[in-house]
Amino acid sequence: MTISPRPEPRGPDARPWGPQGGLLRRTIANGAKLFGAAAPPEPPAAAPPLPDPDQPPAVPPAPRVRRRDWTDRLWGEGLAFPGGAAEVLRLASLLPLAPEATLLLAGGGARAAASLVSGARGCFVAAFEPEALATDVAAPPRAPVRKVTTEPFDAAAPGFRRGYHHHALLLEPFRVGGTPDLLMSAAAQALRPGGQVVLVDLVARGSSFAGGDARWLEAEGRAGAPPAEDAVPAAMERAGFAIHVVEDAGPRHRQSVIEGWRALLQALREQDDRPDPQAAGALVAEAEAWLLRLRLMKEGRLRLLRWHASMMRPPG
């Protein structure tokens, strides 16, 4: 990474955020110049001094900024999908959700997405949220929402209630592991006869992703590569689903990513204060993960697809 010389000192009234441009790539390339890419090492711990009764109490340090905090600013609090609330509601609108229906919603940001869908459509939602991504810590618990339940999502052993849900919305469920056969079998058993499912996720194209991309996998906290493109429809059909629609969701996804980062960087330029080095390091790490994802999609090694299918027979 090339670090250009620091700018000349500015006057006391100058804003610290000038136009940067370049979105994700320049966020990474200029991260050290703008913010410092990582916090300086901490000195060894020492015994705390005795408090001075004549001095005012010390101001507590600012809370540590996580990558999850930057994700909240990009897509909306608790969400993990580019496009934020508008995209979640658009996907949910593809399903016939009556107020008495129960939706199974699994994947990153499921808890926040469930609140949005239930509020907009009036239906019950059973959210299955990964307990934590490998690149971050778990989000603090939120107050319960009427008509929404939340349970942990274990991709390797999905614990969906059998024969209970009318429809399902699955948002990048393979990001936290599992296989298409495991997930689609569990979803089929969880749905009532005639239930519909909308699944959106990344897939690897042919042998071009053989062995995966270690840097991207680590940046996104993935345990392994996405499933092969042909593995998902095959698993759906084995589970008893009839596929009606397969859409290349990549162009919309890429546009949502760029728009989200453009809005965030514009907001940062308008701030009077800069992120501290630790917060900046988290920002640079988040930007790198999205840049690597977009690069792999542009190269044709990854695709983001949307499947819409219906249960045609009980799973065998």
Render 11-59 in DSSP notation, one character per residue: PTTS-S-----SHHHHHHHTHHHHT-SSPPPPPPP-PPPPP-TTSPPPP
In a domain, 231, yes or no: yes
pLDDT digits (tens, 9 = 90+) for 241-274: 999 999 999 999 999 999 999 999 999 999 988 8
DSSP string, 172-214: SGGGG---HHHHHHHHHHHEEEEEEEEEEEEEE-GGGGTT--H
In a domain, 55, yes or no: no
Nearest residue to 107 via CA among 202, 12, 233: 202
Q: How many CA atoms lie less than 13 Å away from 138 in the CB half-sphere?
A: 10
In a domain, 51, yes or no: no
In a domain, 201, yes or no: yes
In a domain, 246, yes or no: yes
Nearest residue to 233 via CA among 206, 210, 199: 199
* pLDDT of 12 higher than 50: no
pLDDT at 61: 58
- Structural contact between residues 305 and 203, judged by C-beta atoms closer than 8 angstroms: yes
In a domain, 94, yes or no: yes
In a domain, 16, yes or no: no
pLDDT at 59: 54
pLDDT at 49: 66
In a domain, 275, yes or no: no
pLDDT at 299: 93
* Rg (alpha carbons) of the chain, rounded to whole number: 22
Which range, 123-132, 199-208, 212-221, 299-308, is most confident? 299-308
CATH of the domain at 89: 3.40.50.150
- Structural contact between residues 302 and 226, judged by C-beta atoms closer than 8 angstroms: yes
What are the backbone angles phi and psi of residue 245, rounded to the nearest 5°?
A: -140, 135
Nearest residue to 106 via CA among 66, 144, 158: 158
Enter the tokens of residue 137. 């810590």
To the nearest whole number, what is the mean pLDDT of the chain?
A: 84
**Could you list the residue range(s) of the whole structural domain that residue 121 is in?**
77-252+299-311
* pLDDT of 93 higher than 80: yes
Question: 3-class DSSP state for residue 224?
Answer: coil
Q: Can you give the length of the chain in residues?
A: 316
Nearest residue to 109 via CA among 172, 161, 196, 154: 172
Task: Provide the percentage of residues in the chain whose pLDDT is more than 70.
Answer: 74
pLDDT at 33: 52
Nearest residue to 87 via CA among 248, 212, 236, 252: 252
Distance CA 238, CA 188 (A): 10
* pLDDT of 115 higher than 80: yes
User: How many domains does the chain divide into?
Assistant: 1
Distance CA 199, CA 118 (A): 18
pLDDT at 209: 74
* pLDDT of 292 higher than 80: yes
